[in-house]
Amino acid sequence: MIKEKPYRSGETVAGAERSGNRGYLYALGLGPEDLEKPFIGIVNSWSGIHPGHVHLRELAAAVSEGVLAAGGRPFEFNTIAICDGITQGHSGMRFVLPSRELIVDSIEVMVQAHHFDGLVFLAGCDKIVPAMARAAGRLDIPCVFVTGGPARPGFYKGKDYAGYQIREASAKVLSGEISEAEYDEMEQSACSGPGSCPMMGTANTMSCLMEPLGLALPGCGTVHATEAKKLRMAHQSGELVMDLVRKGRCPKDYITRETFLNTLKVDMAIGGSTNSAIHLPAIASEFGIELTKDDFEDASLATPQLANVRPSGKYTLWELDQAGGVPAVMAELGESHLDLDLECVTGQSWREVLQGIHSRDTDVLTTTAAPLHEQGSLCILKGNLAPEGAVIKQSAVHPDMMVHTGPARPFDSEEDAIAAIRAGRIQKGDVIVIRYEGPQGGPGMREMLSATTTLVGSGLGTTTALITDGRFSGSTRGPCVGHVSPEAFAGGPIGLVEEGDMITLDIPGRRLSVDVSDEELERRRARFQLPASKRELCDSPYLQRYSRSVTSVWKGAVLK
């Protein structure tokens, strides 16, 4: 009988009254000596339908070996993982952002029920990484992240491709620019195998940001899914979590508001996804920290973009990793931009970690003396069309569209807008408005990737703007404004826009406005009614509950 155990799991296994509990653990094939060890939960989001996660069982095995080698007892359990790429352009995308809430809640339930002493998180893609980061803050027990890593680039006719480029090419099939046979070959070549999409989309943005946030080993975010180094880092992470457990070192002991401000600046420097403006505030809230749109804007104005990586640059994540990855980004930013006395997951200061590190390829990873862009990748817009704010990846916008005024072409769904683009009803200079796609109104805040790639593939990506209360894939490029808030369903001005209203997008001026007087907007508000198609939400009980409980996107779209 185990009389005492100086860890959280002691509540599960120690004492005469816990004999039944121990019996069930013995039924797993464990021995008494195993029950004396720290219990480490390996939170695995492996999924057989998700290419970004299909390899995680192998990484979990390496983590287990590391835990065992360091004297712990690993227990692997699963949570869900939706592939954004497979859900694009149809109703399935409504469930993607809401899945973040299920993931963090499911982890809390498993960890608190079984009293794990430490955790290793395994995830690689868009909502799963931030959900697990939220769990790290909520649970506040020793933990380490192992991110799944990017996929190697795919190749077609000697040119490397990513998934978003296939979508853009679909419009070229309709125009006859490429044949169906060429398109078939392209789509079978572009995605090379396991791993997250090989560009700075949401998956790789959030994976990279786990490093400055202090949850993943330095360098882990850009090490590719198929590299042996990823297995070594998984083993090392298993050993590290045991060290953290023995020291009692928990995330809230060292992750502070200043840590999040560092992370925002790294986000801007790597050309991060607009979705980080949803996920970072949500993660921060679990740490008792508030991140606002002004924090994003301040970071953008103060931080140059250094990573010349797609979709707002030239290269893939493979080249960024070869250039030094996130540690090299942080080293190039240096103490003039970052607080290097903050700690990484190992307990070392970033000043110690970054000694001797620098960019190994200044075309892929530029320097602060000659940055890719003088400002960070994201830009926060305000105005009478977005009183609470909106976001755009300014580094992915053609110079001719940094300031643009054009007539509004409003649509009440992504499908309606795509149909209009494909039918040739959108002209150069138009401003497409897609509304009722926010967290409440969607419900679920779909990504508008199918709309943006159709726009780019139709040759309108440098002449036509798109604004929405929905959001975008991290692979989106062009004058595309998302997160317009308040959303239309909640009574936001975007729901009052009418055909032909003149809309101005002014990125240098940080402004998004419609040329309609306040008095006219109030008249429209007085007679406003939800479209018939939006008066009853979808038939999903989960999404109905989500719609009733979700907060504003600028509060992280978390549930009340």
Assign 43 to helix, strand or coil. strand
Which residues pair with residue 471 across a beta bridge?
Answer: 447
Point out the residues that are catalytic. 473
Rounded Cα–Cα distance for residues 287 and 66 (Å): 28
Rounded Cα–Cα distance for residues 147 and 154 (Å): 20
* Strands 386-393, 143-147: pairing kind: unpaired
**Cβ-based neighbours of 183, under 8 Å, separated by 6 or more:** 169, 170, 172, 173
Which of 357, 361, 408, 392 lies closest to 515, judged by CA? Answer: 408
Query: How far is residue 217 CA from its own chain's centroid?
Result: 18
Q: How far is CA 372 from CA 308, 430, 494, in A?
A: 6, 29, 33
End-to-end, the C-alpha distance of the chain in Å comes to 44
- Asked if residue 466 lies in contact with residue 451, where contact means CB atoms within 8 angstroms, the answer is yes
Which of 134, 181, 132, 175 lies closest to 157, judged by CA? Answer: 181
Q: What is the DSSP letter of 1?
A: -
Rounded Cα–Cα distance for residues 512 and 468 (Å): 12
- What type of residue is 142? P
